[in-house]
Structure 1
Amino acid sequence: MDKINKDVIIIGAGPIGIACALECKKHNWDYTVIEKGSLTNSLFNYPLNMTFFSTSEKLEINEIPFISNNPKPTRNEALEYYRRVTTSNKLNISLYEKVDTVKQNGNGFTVVTDKKIYQSKKVIIATGFYDIPKLLNVPGENLEKVTHYYKEAHPYTLQNIAVVGASNSSVDAALEIYRKGGNVTMIIRGETIGERVKYWVRPDILNRIEEGSIKAYFNSEIKEIKPDNIIVSTPEGEITLPNDYVIALTGYRPNFEFLKHSGITFSNDVKQIPTYNPETMESNINGLYLAGVVCGGMETHKWFIENSRIHAKIIAKNIQSKI
């Protein structure tokens, strides 16, 4: 198979990958964005009724206006915005193509996918972190009734639902399912609802818990998942709760294995921060850049669209200085 020569390969077609593509186009570099799923695949997999914490202007890329019906846009509005940015600028994006390996060689990088082989002078990894959930690692987690993603509330009407976690996604799921007629119990490892929960939502969940509409077990963990119930360790001891579905929204992590196989090193602690220069976004591999939330390692709350969209311009500036 012949190699396809490119100036830049961008891995990941999320908002930051799209921002990087816009910078490449601006500099007239021959580039391709490779994405294993749909355009903005992570956003597509967000809950249907999700509202962003950030306002629309803070989600804009390349100074292209993002107009939404309300100050804080919805998932569907974000999908439409990034789709229109992509199509109107005729960005070169290959969807449903999975990158297998990135290897440095004397002339740059060889990027092998499940469809093609590319030779590129530079590579930008903007793969995010939403594809690999943090597992509970308890017996029964592989049952069909367990999911690490939440889409909508309707399937959970009249069911006993355990929502694991106390983040924005957990709280949104618990409130939506409760209001669609589900019997919701929250299993929370900490002692309270997360402090980073959206400020207009947090009072709602606290009030629902206080009035007993949603049951919450704090300082607690699921120990085992069975077909008809779950066993939960609480400060008062183990309890058994009737259960039809477990929605374990305990967070996600970057694909560390892919980064390591690409030659990227990490900090030697539990945070697993990949090595990069914040002034250039270049990793420990010359010509291999990191962009977006993948830069945060296990600290996935540190980077998001609002504060990492600038990475595209930083990377482009550094690439330009080397040409």
Structure 2
Amino acid sequence: MAASSRTRCRARWCCGRGGRSADGVDPRRPEASLRAPRSKMSAGAARADADPLDLAIVGAGPCGLAAAVAAKERGLTHAVVDRGCITESLTHYPYYMTFFSTAERLEIGGVPFTIPEAKPTRQQALAYYRRVVGHHALNVRQYEEVTAIGRRAGGEFVLHTRIRAGREDRIRARAVVIATGGFGKPNRLDLEDGQAHDRVIHYYKEPYPFFDQDVIVVGGGNSAVEAALELYRNGVRVRMVHFLGVFDRGVKPWVRPDIDNRIASGEIPMHWGSRVSRLEPGTATIVRDESGAATGVPDHTDDATAQPHASGTATEVPCDWVLAMTGWRPDRTLLHGLGVHTDPHTGIPDHDRATMETNVPGVYIAGVIAAGFNANKIFIENGREHGDLIAAAVAGKG
């Protein structure tokens, strides 16, 4: 997802206005807002020996945090539990990424996102969401994984959790929100015997660790194209592999001529309709995939963009690392364990859009997980609205 100068996220986020925010924080000094926010609840208040919470939220991304703010504003007790840190997915984005949309489309909880630049960086977004947590004194339990969710006879939910030290705990709640986002599980490569995964990386942050290395970028979307271009311009020997015969339609139009020219000149070798089938020390085997090649053809079949492989031909190439920019999918394990139905064609959990409640009473969804297989349907700008719908529904059941 990185570009030659500043990477721009495909999500429709952010911009800004100069000056200080409403809570007096100078946006140019994000560290000033990170004063170790502490929950107003005691450490044991959400546990199994206490009264049940009104709402337990799984996932501390922007949409999960928005749900927590909405719950608190309606007087509902809550806890936000995440196996990682606050906005964990953002920490995996390229270090120098710049978001696309205006700042107000990123804002949650009525906390202004004020920055001097036109559009925020990854660092500014990370600082902003931590400021939201501190401003509202949200109950966020970081690095605590929800391993299972059960339900008692009276309808109360019990969340079984595990912290990094291995200690297990339980949280009781009247209702549950699953807001685990779209980065639950990577789409892994189909390598023989599931081998050499330590050389396969699903997050790309910056090119410098790969200097003077042979890197294969797998994928045909924006993240793959922009990573390949940035690697190429920073001393990396890079080639691309895509199972289709064309790039994804969503590749940014101002990036497309650059990658097309690099491929046509041979500066970035391209293997269309192919896949990485095997990794050995220092090498990789790329196989022409008949089914993938049949799915698409290059825009110009007579130009230099197609690697001249016969169908089924295996080619061994130098390889130190594989960047698998193959996308992610939501982790629906908790939803399925609760009995939530999911459309097999769209991947969308069965839910009421007016309340975000699923077919299981008391179980709600928020954010990207509600989009199913098409993660481009829901962004921060519309996913943040789910929290108000959920809080209103839970408060209404009183």
Counterpart AA for 2:183: Y
SS at match of 1:260: helix
* 1:125-144 equivalent positions in 2, closer than 5 A: 125-139=178-192, 141-143=194-196, 144=198
Aligned to 1:91: 138
Aligned to 2:217: 163
RMSD: 1.9
Give yes or no for contact 2:76–2:395 (8 Å, CA) kept in 1: no
Aligned to 1:178: 232
Partner Cα distance (2:115, 2:256) in 1: 23
SS at match of 1:78: helix
Q: How much does 1:199 deviate?
A: 4.4
Q: Quick one: which of 66, 71, 75 aligns to 1:19?
A: 66
Give yes or no for contact 2:109–2:132 (8 Å, CA) kept in 1: no
Aligned to 1:116: 169
Normalising by the residue count of structure 1, what TM-score does the alignment of the two structures yield? 0.93
Q: Quick one: which of 87, 92, 115 aligns to 1:40?
A: 87
Partner Cα distance (1:209, 1:314) in 2: 48
Aligned to 1:272: 347
Partner Cα distance (1:23, 1:219) in 2: 47
Counterpart AA for 1:3: D
Count of equivalent residues: 322
Q: Quick one: which of 316, 320, 323 aligns to 2:395?
A: 320
**Distance verdict in 2 for CA 1:198–1:49, change over 3 Å:** farther
- The worse-fitting range, judged by mean Cα deviation, of 31-40 and 115-124 is 115-124
Counterpart AA for 1:257: T
Aligned to 2:386: 311
Q: How much does 1:41 deviate?
A: 0.7
Deviations 1:119-178 (A, max 9, x none): 111111101121311111212653122222222211111111100002222122212211
SS at match of 1:194: coil
Q: Quick one: which of 336, 345, 357 aligns to 1:260?
A: 336
Aligned to 1:49: 96
| Residue 360 of structure 2 corresponds to residue 285 of structure 1 | yes
Flag structure 1 segments of 5+ consecutive residues without an equivalent: none
Give yes or no for contact 1:140–1:225 (8 Å, CA) kept in 2: no
Aligned to 2:49: 3
**Distance verdict in 2 for CA 1:45–1:192, change over 3 Å:** same
Q: How much does 1:275 deviate?
A: 1.3
Normalising by the residue count of structure 2, what TM-score does the alignment of the two structures yield? 0.76
- The worse-fitting range, judged by mean Cα deviation, of 7-16 and 214-223 is 214-223
Counterpart AA for 1:254: P
Q: How much does 1:50 deviate?
A: 2.0
Q: How much does 1:317 deviate?
A: 2.1
Counterpart AA for 2:382: N
- The worse-fitting range, judged by mean Cα deviation, of 193-202 and 18-27 is 193-202
Q: How much does 1:213 deviate?
A: 2.6
Give yes or no for contact 2:55–2:173 (8 Å, CA) kept in 1: yes
Instruction: Say which one has the larger Rg.
Output: 2
